[in-house]
């Protein structure tokens, strides 16, 4: 079987997760990596696990020249410079079959649009990696409920949330580098899930037309003095000066252009989730049918008593973003597959080897960025945003949320 030889840019959390996914598929191997830090360790691990020859390259240009596809797995604030280097290498003769970019595509619409344009300039096939649309539970509910949808009509309400106790690296907490707080980081997942699940069978990804967005943001935990101090001490990020939201919830209304039906998707995300680990919760209501997904329900529970917990060091070994290391814990033993990483890699490899864009091209990521920005605007203005208004559409092109500008104090109520 032909394998897509992928080169990763970045050797951090997501690169390791994607390596665990690639271990489960047959049409991709990790041919190389370049990263500011961690490249040698990552390459050694890849080779040891037989996931590909994984050479370490000194920079993006050299990597691009030596692989079939590059995957942008480095922080959000590095996107444009990295992409410009990839495109320059392609223009200079590098033969790329495709380009993968992790979510979020950009910190704002201007950045996301620039990435789309750069990919077009180099005539690249692309994949925007929004793993949750590739989750097997999502795909299975769609398949299972196909007859109900055909006879009764599509879903009318979807609620989607991703919540955990907060990210692992300081740059995620810094709104100027990451793009905001939890809405930019994880709202993009939940907004995409809502839009996708509501879309009637067989219709394109952007068939349903976004009409309105409302949103509320909160700094409910990490703005409190104890947690703020801890954040400063542990991550070097000062939320007295540049706070970001640790909670968001909102509603997006869509219109079916053929039937005129109005449907709604609610999103909720938090970095203040105090349960067993990361929870993805999605449910959908159709006329006479429904689905529900909860990733904290696993066939495997383990119990760790106090004495055993004290002997074990790593709180994250049980479940991604676990905040507890003792008691009764739910364990998802194949998170890479559950969250959709295996399927997104297999699908992208197949698409690029056939010379086409993947299921979600970068242009889809741009549409999600627009919705995320509209949600920030709604929260800042404390009013519902009309997405059909040309003035709003124009405004979103250059809008930078106050939180992303480092002015979160002006929009997030904080004590002290």
Burial class for 390, CB neighbours closer than 10 Å (0-12, 13-18, 19+): exposed
Instruction: Report, in this order, helix, strand and coil percent for the chain, each rounded to 5.
Output: 40, 20, 40
Kindly state whether residue 131 participates in binding ligand NAD, applying the rule CB under 6 A: yes
Question: What are all long-range contacts of 232-238, with beta carbons under 8 Å and residues at least 24 apart?
Answer: 235/169, 235/170, 235/173, 236/170, 237/170, 237/173, 237/174
Q: Residue 95 has which token pair? A: 């033969």
Kindly state whether residue 102 participates in binding ligand NAD, applying the rule CB under 6 A: yes
Kindly state whether residue 12 participates in binding ligand NAD, applying the rule CB under 6 A: yes
Cis bond before residue 104 (omega within 30° of 0): yes
Contacts to ligand NAD from residues 23-82, by CB under 6 A: 34-38, 73-76, 78
Kindly state whether residue 368 participates in binding ligand NAD, applying the rule CB under 6 A: no
Nearer to ligand NAD, 36 or 92 (CB): 36
Beta-sheet strand order (sheet of 28-34): 55-56, 28-34, 4-9, 69-72, 98-102, 126-129
Min CB(112)–ligand NAD separation in Å:
12
Nearer to ligand NAD, 180 or 218 (CB): 180
Q: Which stretch binds ligand NAD (CB under 6 A): 5-13, 135-143, 151-159, 218-226?
A: 5-13
Q: At what angle do helices 79-91 and 109-121 cross, to 10 degrees?
A: 10
Q: Give the span between the Cα atoms of 396 and 214, in whole angstroms.
A: 15
Nearer to ligand NAD, 76 or 214 (CB): 76
Kindly state whether residue 234 participates in binding ligand NAD, applying the rule CB under 6 A: no
Q: Residue 46 has which token pair? A: 């890849």
Strands 157-163 and 262-270: parallel
Min CB(361)–ligand NAD separation in Å:
16
Nearer to ligand NAD, 212 or 344 (CB): 344
Min CB(107)–ligand NAD separation in Å:
10
Q: Give the span between the Cα atoms of 387 and 403, in whole angstroms.
A: 21
Min CB(13)–ligand NAD separation in Å:
3
Nearer to ligand NAD, 256 or 270 (CB): 270
Kindly state whether residue 268 participates in binding ligand NAD, applying the rule CB under 6 A: no
> 80 with 74: CB under 8 angstroms?
no
Longest CA–CA span in the chain (Å) reads 62
Nearer to ligand NAD, 36 or 297 (CB): 36
Burial 27-59 (b: 16+ CB within 10 A, else e): bbbbbbbbbeebbeebbebbeeeebbebbbbee
Kindly state whether residue 170 participates in binding ligand NAD, applying the rule CB under 6 A: no
Q: Which residue is nearest to ligand NAD (CB)?
A: 12
Min CB(37)–ligand NAD separation in Å:
4
Min CB(131)–ligand NAD separation in Å:
5
Q: Residue 93 has which token pair? A: 């003769």
Q: What is the DSSP string of 24-66?
A: T-SSEEEEEEE-SSSHHHHHHHHHHTTS---EE-SSHHHHHHT
Q: Give the span between the Cα atoms of 36 and 48, in whole angstroms.
A: 21
Nearer to ligand NAD, 52 or 340 (CB): 340
Min CB(191)–ligand NAD separation in Å:
14
4, 11, 30, 192: which one contacts ligand NAD (CB under 6 A)?
A: 11
C-alpha separations of 351 from 119, 142, 245 in Å: 16, 22, 37
Min CB(7)–ligand NAD separation in Å:
12
46, 52, 71, 103: which one contacts ligand NAD (CB under 6 A)?
A: 103
Number of residues that bind ligand NAD (CB under 6 A): 21
Nearer to ligand NAD, 8 or 387 (CB): 8
Query: Can you give the binding site for ligand NAD, defined by CB under 6 A?
Result: 9-15, 34-38, 73-76, 78, 102-103, 131, 169
């Amino acid at each position: 079987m032909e394998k897509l030889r992928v080169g990763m840019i970045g050797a951090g959390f997501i690169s390791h997760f994607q390596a665990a996914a690639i271990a489960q598929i047959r049409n991709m191997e990790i041919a190389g990596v370049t990263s500011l830090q961690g490249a040698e360790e990552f390459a050694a691990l890849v080779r040891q696990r037989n996931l590909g020859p994984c050479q370490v390259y000194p920079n993006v240009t050299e990597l691009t020249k030596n692989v079939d596809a590059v995957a942008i797995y480095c922080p959000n604030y590095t996107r444009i410079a990295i992409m410009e280097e990839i495109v320059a290498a392609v223009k200079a003769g590098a033969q790329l079959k495709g380009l993968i970019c992790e979510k979020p595509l950009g910190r704002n619409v201007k950045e996301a649009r620039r990435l789309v344009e750069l990919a077009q300039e180099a005539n690249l096939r692309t994949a925007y990696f929004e793993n949750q649309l590739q989750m097997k539970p999502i795909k299975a509910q769609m398949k299972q409920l196909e007859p109900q949808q055909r006879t009764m009509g599509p879903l009318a309400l979807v609620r989607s949330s991703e919540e955990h106790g907060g990210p692992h690296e300081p740059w995620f907490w810094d709104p100027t580098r990451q793009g905001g707080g939890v809405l930019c980081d994880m709202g993009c997942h939940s907004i995409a899930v809502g839009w996708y699940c509501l879309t009637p069978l067989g219709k394109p990804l952007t068939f349903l037309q976004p009409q309105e967005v409302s949103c509320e943001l909160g700094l409910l935990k990490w703005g409190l003095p104890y947690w703020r101090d801890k954040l400063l001490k542990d991550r070097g990020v000062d939320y007295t000066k540049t706070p970001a939201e640790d909670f968001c919830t909102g509603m997006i209304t869509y219109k079916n252009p053929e039937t005129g039906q109005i449907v709604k998707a609610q999103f909720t995300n938090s970095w203040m989730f105090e349960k067993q680990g990361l929870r993805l919760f999605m449910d959908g209501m159709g006329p006479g049918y429904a689905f529900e997904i909860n990733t904290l329900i696993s066939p495997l529970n383990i119990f760790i008593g106090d004495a055993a917990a004290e002997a074990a060091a790593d709180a994250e070994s049980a479940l991604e973003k676990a905040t507890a290391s003792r008691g009764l814990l739910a364990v998802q033993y194949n998170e890479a597959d559950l969250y959709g990483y295996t399927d997104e890699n297999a699908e992208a490899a197949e698409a690029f080897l056939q010379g086409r864009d993947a299921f979600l091209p970068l242009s889809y990521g741009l549409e999600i960025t627009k919705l995320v920005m509209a949600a920030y605007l709604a929260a800042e203005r404390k009013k519902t945003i009309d997405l059909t208004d040309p003035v709003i559409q124009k405004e979103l092109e250059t809008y930078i949320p106050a939180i992303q500008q480092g002015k979160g104090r002006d929009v997030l109520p904080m004590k002290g």
